[in-house]
Chains A and B, each alone.
Chain A
């Protein structure tokens, strides 16, 4: 057996199945997508090679540029609103002495619910006529707000629901990191007279920076590929107000006038965007080891 393992071909054979599966489910779809992205394939008729026309069409469509802007807003909201809130909640839960498991479970529940359930649930909550939020506002004499039908409110509503869905998952991640820290440091700081805020800001947060970095990166990647909550709640509407790149893809590739060539071109654009943003983050803010 020892002699067998010295043969480099044995290792080649061992990795072949993985490589085959990887090629089958990643390389091959990517390669065919790359090919179809340069065609006018509509799924039914014969197609022809049209060069960069799909990419030109996409980037000259202001609806797509609006979708990119919305994706960026998702990222900004995730990184600058969601992540700080996640850290604050994780610190708060970590510092409670009683019912910590209850809080942990409670915040985690939304992330195990299906997006469809969340979309429909929040559809009721935000309903202009029967939704509890508008009922409460009407108590103060405020006119019904069309949360999902008004271009002003639709995107903030979806952002908040999306954050509500995923914050619990990240809170639990960060909480695990906080609870894994040695208690002695915190106690020593407390004896030295550091306040709760000082201990959190100067001690805990720097120590969990690597996991925060991972959360930020996952949030960026998640914001780039967000689509399900948008499709369930607004289908990208009203009038493209909540359209993101992936929902634009769905509406173009399928929908009234299916255009798979264009769809695959958009999928490549999303892939490149996500890759670039993640790489930029990793090369800059995400370098925790330095």
Chain B
């Protein structure tokens, strides 16, 4: 009897220990349950508080936090970060009890490492930096991880304000909001060009002549940091838009365009030719995106292919130094024999904010207030004037006339003259195809593949992805 009693006591003790250890997160689970309850009550209720007047002074608000992941880290993003900080402060002031928990993460780490893992686990931040397109917003939206913003936009009167929501829209649902627009083109060092007697390239021959002259004179023609494959792919993307036509970019996933068509191969062949001619940074495979800017800013490179989002750097003396306001911008010239309208630009409204679908009532109020403040005319104009990022919402011509930065002015002119815009293929092709474009461009740069072999491999992966 005594033995039995001892055994039972020990069993109870051991079980208690194990169960206590396993149940350590009970509080969290409880909270989670509360959250989902609140969620369901939110979705069932039509009386969502108005974010424009969320303060209920009679009732002391419960403190709560909302996680916000951004990619505005480093000196080059300081203007954009300042705008975000102001929006955060304004939103916190408007929503009682709200505190944002900001987390700054490097762009590609957020996009390709943290966010996919969080989406798989179902615990992304409440607000986070998000790219549009098949591999990002649309994929996560279809999996139910993202908040549909269409009703919120309607509630806030922003339904018709955005210039382009294509990369975030699926079946009428809006899964993210672009923070701005951009085009991609060549930045060039005006001083070096003047010294070498080079004009701003307006034709393909002038562009290649400039590249050759720069190389002959000991400069890097095109600064490049290819450690992240997306950087050289910006240029490849635009070359494809020129050689194979603007429609090709969206045609790969529908089967209307082929990676191994002669036109796309010609685009890759041109890139390969430039690699062989030594136009790009020596040892580019070991340099990061930031290194590319540094090389250009230190006057070692004559040109750099990048997005218009970089323009604010060149008017900021602390970053551009001696190169302040001595940088020009031009879009890729027309290619002789290129398919389609050669005035099209590589333009995107693809980067912005997404919002978790797992929000409680308070968090939803905070999200609405954040959207209202971030996508206001005031903040969008600040983005344009301070950061050189084209607005994602329609601004009045009066507002646009305030632009003084010469690169931003040039960008606006280019966009005005362009026949249209084609997007990045990272937002139009399937993730498996995009991954293959990353793998193959690095091999092309390293001389392990040719333009034709790259194109054939890409088409094989594309065919497989289109069948799935």
Q: Which residues of A contact B (CB under 8 A)?
A: 3-4, 7, 9-10, 13-14, 16-17, 20, 24, 42-45, 63, 128, 144, 146-151, 154, 234-235, 237-239, 254-258, 260
Contacts and interface: CB of A to CB of B under 8 A. Distances in A.
Interface string B1-22: 0110011001100100110001
A4 B435 contact: no
Q: Nearest 7 pairs between A and B by C-beta?
A: A149-B286, A43-B120, A146-B283, A238-B285, A257-B431, A149-B283, A257-B435
Given A149-B284, A239-B448, A255 B7 contact: no
Contacts of B326: none
Contacts of B438: 256
Contacts of A234: 286
Contacts of B139: 44
Contact of B6 (A4, A151, A239): A4
Contact of A257 (B11, B18, B432, B448): B432
B348 to A, nearest CB: 17
A3 to B, nearest CB: 6
A63 B284 CA distance: 21
A126 to B, nearest CB: 9
Given A17-B17, A256-B435, A258-B120, A10 B446 contact: no
Given A43-B119, A44-B139, A44-B140, A7 B7 contact: yes
Contacts of A150: 283, 286
Interface string B142-173: 01010000000000000000000000000000
26 contacts: A4-B3, A4-B6, A7-B3, A10-B10, A13-B7, A13-B10, A13-B11, A13-B14, A14-B14, A16-B14, A20-B18, A43-B120, A44-B140, A45-B143, A63-B439, A128-B286, A144-B283, A148-B286, A149-B287, A150-B286, A151-B446, A237-B442, A239-B448, A255-B112, A256-B435, A257-B135
Interface in B368-412: none
A235 B14 CA distance: 45
B443 interface: yes
Given A7-B7, A17-B17, A44-B140, A239 B446 contact: yes
B282 interface: yes
B140 A254 contact: no
A254 B113 contact: yes
A57 B174 CA distance: 36
B280 to A, nearest CB: 12
B442 A238 contact: yes
Chain B: interface residue count, which band? 35 or more
A234 B285 CA distance: 10
B307 interface: no
A66 to B, nearest CB: 11
B218 to A, nearest CB: 14
A4 B1 CA distance: 11
Contacts of A44: 119-120, 139-140, 143, 145
Residue among B2, B121, B135, B446 with max Cβ neighbours from chain A (10 Å): B446
B278 interface: no
Contacts of B287: 149
Contacts of B283: 128, 144, 146, 149-150
A146 B140 CA distance: 39
B457 to A, nearest CB: 12
A3 B113 contact: no
B112 A256 contact: yes
Nearest to A20: B18
A25 to B, nearest CB: 11
B3 A3 contact: yes
B285 A254 contact: no
Interface secondary structure of B, over-half rule: helix
Contacts of A43: 116-117, 119-121
B414 to A, nearest CB: 30
Contacts of A144: 283
Contacts of B445: 239
B227 interface: yes
B434 interface: yes
Contact of A17 (B3, B18, B116, B435): B18
B197 to A, nearest CB: 28
Contacts of A149: 283-287
Nearest to A258: B116
B265 to A, nearest CB: 20
Given A17-B14, A257-B431, 4 more contacts: A146-B283, A154-B286, A239-B446, A255-B116
A4 B2 CA distance: 9
A47 to B, nearest CB: 11
Contacts of A16: 14, 18
A42 B135 CA distance: 12
Nearest to A24: B22
Given A239-B448, A257-B434, A146 B282 contact: yes
Contact of B285 (A9, A14, A237, A260): A237
A11 B143 CA distance: 48
A256 B286 contact: no
A17 B438 CA distance: 48
Interface in B416-452: 431-432, 434-435, 438-439, 442-443, 445-446, 448
Nearest to A16: B14
Contacts of B17: 17
Contacts of B145: 44
Contacts of A10: 6-7, 10
A146 B442 CA distance: 16
Nearest to A41: B120
Interface in B1-50: 2-3, 6-7, 10-11, 14, 17-18, 22
Contacts of A63: 439
Contacts of B7: 7, 9-10, 13
Contacts of B284: 149
Contacts of A254: 112-113, 116-117
A151 B446 CA distance: 8
Nearest to A259: B432
A235 B448 contact: no
Nearest to B230: A256
Contacts of B443: 239
A239 B438 CA distance: 10
Nearest to B295: A129
Contacts of A260: 120
B442 A239 contact: yes
A272 B135 CA distance: 33
Nearest to A123: B286
A229 to B, nearest CB: 16
Residue among A146, A148, A258 with max Cβ neighbours from chain B (10 Å): A258
A150 B285 CA distance: 8
A127 B106 CA distance: 21
A43 B117 CA distance: 8
B442 A256 contact: no
